[in-house]
Chains A and B, each alone.
Chain A
Amino acid sequence: MHEECVSLQQSLCVVEVLECVVRRCVGPGGGSVLLTRDTGEIIITRHGQRILNTLHLEHPMARMVLDCVSAHSQVTADGTKSFILLLAALLRGIQNLSDKHGRGHSTAPYLRNLAHRLLAFSYKEFDDIITHKILPNAYFYCNRHGYKSSSILDLLVGGYIAGRLGIGQADILRRVLCEFYHKVSQGQDGVKTITFLHSHFSLLHTTVTGLPIGCSEVIEGLVVTRDWSVWTDPNGSAKALIIHESLGSCLIGASNNISLCVQHDWLSRTDRALEQKLASVLQLQVRVLLSSVKQPETVLQWARLNHIALLECVDSAQLDLLCRISGTETVPHPSLQHLLMLKFCSRVQLGGHRYACLGTFSQGVPQTHTLVLCGPAPGLLDQIVCVSRGAFTLLEHLCQSLISTQLNEYTNSETDNIRETQENCESSVLVSSQPQRSDLDLSQSFLSSQDLWGRIMRAGGVIPVGGTFEFLLHDFLLNARNRGDTESCRLLAEALLCVPRTLFSRRRFLDAQTHLISELKQMTNVQDLSKCSELKFRFNNGSTLPVCLESVSSKQQLVVSVLQCLNRLLCIGAILHTRTPLLTHPSTSSEDEEGETENLHLSDN
């Protein structure tokens, strides 16, 4: 009876169970899962992250995998289900190896060694393969199949959403999100827009329950989810004052010392102080007051009398955003007050509520707009918001990774410029525009470009969905010249095919694979862009619509994350169960820590 590594068996068990749960939801044709919470709330979802978070998992390995998945999806918001599929396929591949090759391949030291080799591969050679093989081929594919740069965003977002929402909902949301992006960017700097949208998404969207999804729209200006306390239409642009504390509480002046001796004329004193403040506000010719706190009734009365619009209890984060976008002047008057110009103020009716809408003059990018997302039920609405946020995270990740790739390439091309131009004539599209730039920062030139999506496509940042990336990588890994580790390459190559296998039925899978490989061979032989034929992608069911796209960088990140998680799983020597109960925050569970310390101890050799 040979000693099998306990970590391989257990992790295979755990990950296979998760795979069975998640497999049925993969892809645009996948089903949804209906989960009932203990509170009775029903969730119908296809989103991998949400499904995994809702399961009750106390097994320490399962919790560790869940942590890895959460960390990965915070970076790219993509590929949760593919993560689990790929991890399961890798573990199964390792199990097959140990079955076929006997005892030597199933001992703990061998497995740890294998895990480290795979991790080392993901650090070094994988990057090379992506940069030199996958990215150029991705560009060839897109070019060959006639993708236009104007439709790239549409297809990217569409591809992301299609796997996460039902078909009807996906179409509507895609249209709304693209409209949102275009209105905010107004054709200007795309990268800045995406960064802005990603970092401020929670402030830039409003949810409305009870309306169908088709009512989702983009509104100009910033919607504040409060109604005006005092409303007068300023008719056009107006000066606005932002106050962060109540105007009535003027007793405590500059210092924080409170004297408790109450004087008999206290009321008249406070009244006088308040009047002074309000007079100074009037002097500034302010027509709109935006307050982050509730103001006393006297202030409301005063505002009504003087035809000043007042908005109370505004989220201070939104106020900060307003200040940042419009550029404010600080008033030297006591306590934090900022003055800014608003383009317009209005009231909007969304669903059953009336909200305030503030328009700003923004110089250049970004033009403030708010995304209004409607959904019939809170659960569905929650998912829509999650998917929208994830779409912008994905775009952000794509832009950032492409910038860093181009920076690397620029520094490399500086040293051997001539060699690069002589090599691939197609990738010279990237190099030829830059060889004359000597000192200019490449990231700036990339940022200021108008045609963001065209540049992304030319850099090979996007690739058609449906397993293209996996097939390509599989092919290159198997045919790679023998640098390093054939065993781990083969293992990874076989495991990669699990995703297209799940997406397609068996016959279509073989079809797709052979078709792709033959196209690849044709392209490497011909390498002439002007002669690209009108071949449509076979996955397309004969329709004339181009296939959706996915981001190569998120796929790359997925493989790296999976290999890191695999390394952690295989390096577990033993699981020690402690008496302390599991804390609700997964990262502080004591069993995980025990596993971690075991980890550290055993990976020292």
Chain B
Amino acid sequence: MNADDEDFEWEPPSEAEMKVIQARRERQDKISKVMGDYLLKGYKMLGECCELCGTILLQDKQKKNYCVACQELDSDIDKDNPALNAQAALTQVRERQLAAQPTPESNGTSSNDPPLSITGQPRPEHCEGAASGLRGPALNPQPAPLPVPAVNPPFLPPSNPPLQPVLPPGPTNTLLHHPALSSAEEAVLHKLRWATQELQHSVSVEASIQLCNLIRGCAESLRSLKELQL
């Protein structure tokens, strides 16, 4: 058998690989369960597979094809590392912003920063909102972005402060031209600022969580607004 020579190189699967296998199996179980439910509702199981994920396609009564995995479950490849997803999204946004504005005048460190942020430790997701929120006030052209990091050590790991100089020039240079969009952005930024200030003064856990959520929501709206333009 030609597998003999492969046997010499074989090692038992490591912990991480077992975890990936386990996660994949759970995902497969979920897919099967959902597909079973759809079959009982009268959907037809086709003989074709989805091109994106390889799951078997279903067809509903209106002859429309439906892939359970793509449309209902999240994409799975890095399911065990969700922070990587948000990270990847943010870095993509930042890269676009960098590509859009050619002059890195205050960004002396900007060329170093993106790589640092990508290869830096993945930030826990709940801090993303806070991180983007705290970048918010720095969007106003302030002379010293440095005080901001000083406030934030309890929230952010140390890889954050280098990021601060990256963003402020970005959004200001890519100000939206359309008046409606710019007013929307202004309103969101205003709310972001207010929420940050409230967060600094809040004492209850519940309120802090809600403020963080608000900040995250504002950051996401800002991101979508920017994407509209790009």
Residues of A that sit less than 8 Å from B by CB: 9-10, 12-14, 16-21, 33, 35-36, 38, 55-60, 62, 99-104, 107, 109-110, 575, 577, 591
Contacts and interface: CB of A to CB of B under 8 A. Distances in A.
A16 B10 contact: no
Contacts of A58: 44-47
Question: Chain A's interface: helix, strand, loop or mixed, by majority?
Answer: helix
B12 A591 contact: no
Given A56-B45, A58-B46, A58-B47, A13 B40 contact: no
Given A20-B32, A20-B33, A33-B40, A107 B47 contact: no
B7 A13 contact: no
B42 interface: yes
Nearest to A18: B36
B6 A21 contact: no
B207 interface: no
B47 A575 contact: yes
B163 interface: no
| Candidate in A58, A101, A577 with the most chain B CB atoms within 10 angstroms | A58
Given A36-B42, A104-B7, A17 B32 contact: yes
B13 interface: yes
Given A56-B45, A58-B47, A575-B47, A21 B10 contact: no
A13 B47 contact: no
B138 interface: no
Given A13-B28, A104-B3, A62 B45 contact: yes
B46 A13 contact: no
B35 interface: yes
Question: Chain B's interface: helix, strand, loop or mixed, by majority?
Answer: mixed
B28 A21 contact: no
A13 B47 CA distance: 12
Contacts of B6: 102-104
Given A10-B56, A102-B13, 6 more contacts: A12-B28, A13-B32, A55-B40, A57-B44, A100-B13, A101-B10
B40 A21 contact: yes
A21 B36 contact: yes
B29 interface: yes
Contacts of B28: 12-13, 16
B32 A35 contact: no
B99 to A, nearest CB: 32
7 contacts: A10-B49, A20-B37, A35-B40, A55-B39, A58-B45, A59-B46, A591-B47
A17 B36 contact: yes
Interface residues of B, number: 28
Contacts of A577: 47-48
A109 B1 CA distance: 9
B55 interface: yes
Contacts of A38: 42
Nearest to B41: A36
Contacts, number: 79
B23 to A, nearest CB: 12
Contacts of A104: 1, 3, 6-7, 10
A16 to B, nearest CB: 4
B56 A14 contact: yes
Interface string B9-47: 010110000000100000011001101110110111111
Contact of B36 (A20, A35, A99, A102): A20
B225 to A, nearest CB: 40
A20 B35 contact: yes
Contacts of A56: 39, 42-45
Those 3 A-B pairs whose CB atoms lie nearest each other, nearest first: A20-B36, A56-B44, A104-B3
A36 B10 CA distance: 51
B3 A110 contact: yes
A4 to B, nearest CB: 11
B63 to A, nearest CB: 12
A204 B3 CA distance: 61
Interface in B52-78: 54-56
A38 B41 CA distance: 11
B200 to A, nearest CB: 50
Contacts of B10: 101-104
B28 to A, nearest CB: 7
B7 to A, nearest CB: 6
A94 B162 CA distance: 51
A81 to B, nearest CB: 13
Contacts of A18: 36
A19 B54 CA distance: 20
Nearest to A106: B3
Contacts of A33: 40
B34 to A, nearest CB: 9
A17 B44 contact: no
Contacts of A36: 42
Contacts of B32: 13, 16-17, 19-20
Contacts of B46: 58-59
A21 B40 CA distance: 7
Contacts of A110: 3
Contacts of A575: 47
A41 to B, nearest CB: 12
Contacts of B54: 9
Interface in B108-149: none
A56 B42 CA distance: 7
Contacts of B49: 10
Nearest to B46: A58
A26 to B, nearest CB: 14
